[in-house]
Amino acid sequence: MIQRFHLWLPSSRISDAQAKCPTSFSLSSRDKLKFVEHSDQRVELTVSAADCLFCRIIKSEIPAELIHRDDQCVVIADINPQAPTHLLVIPVEHIESLDEASQKDEALLGHLLRVAARVANGAGLADSGYRTVINTGAGAGQSVFHLHVHVLGGRSLSWPPG
């Protein structure tokens, strides 16, 4: 479902003519409108599944090294690997982070972990071990705000991470 919103920009930051003109945009049911406080001005940011890097990879708009695909997720090689094997298990449905997942997503979350195990074993990591990681939020290292599971292996992984 697409909803239409109108934004009125703060008049203290723009001309009178601009203040009288709303900015329109559309959001789907999974998109979010967020606000971030920046000094004394309020800055509007939109998060759109249409602009999401992983959504664009899933739609084959951006090339990636595809390891696995099914109806619920894709697995790609990370373009900035932190281990000899670094794969990303990404749900097809745009979910911003683990915090945004709901009870209806429980089966999907289990599927992502089972696929992570399968691709790790397929990459020969069963004997040496591997790590699965879900970063949630910028402070935890999430840089693409589309839920994904990192699968890392092929070297000794220290603890604690980071």
pLDDT tens string 134-145: 999 999 999 999
pTM: 0.72
Residue 45 token pair = 């940011």
Return mean pLDDT, the chain: 79
- Distance between CA atoms of 26 and 85, rounded to whole angstroms? 39
pLDDT band, residue 61 (cuts 50/70/90): very high
Name the residue ranges covered by the structural domains of the chain: 2-49, 59-153
Section 90-99 average pLDDT: 97
Residue scoring higher pLDDT (3 or 63)? 63
- Distance between CA atoms of 23 and 43, rounded to whole angstroms? 14
Which pLDDT does position 45 carry in this prediction?
42
From its phi and psi, is residue 111 left (phi > 0), alpha (psi between -120 and 50) or beta? alpha
The beta-strand segments (E) located in 29-148 are 32-38, 41-47, 66-69, 73-77, 85-91, 130-133
Section 69-93 average pLDDT: 97
CATH of domain 59-153: 3.30.428.10
Catalytic residues: 148
Which pLDDT does position 48 carry in this prediction?
61
Section 29-41 average pLDDT: 41
Residue 9 token pair = 């920009």
Edge-to-edge strands, sheet with 66-69: 66-69, 73-77, 85-91, 149-153, 130-133
DSSP 59: T
- Distance between CA atoms of 22 and 131, rounded to whole angstroms? 48
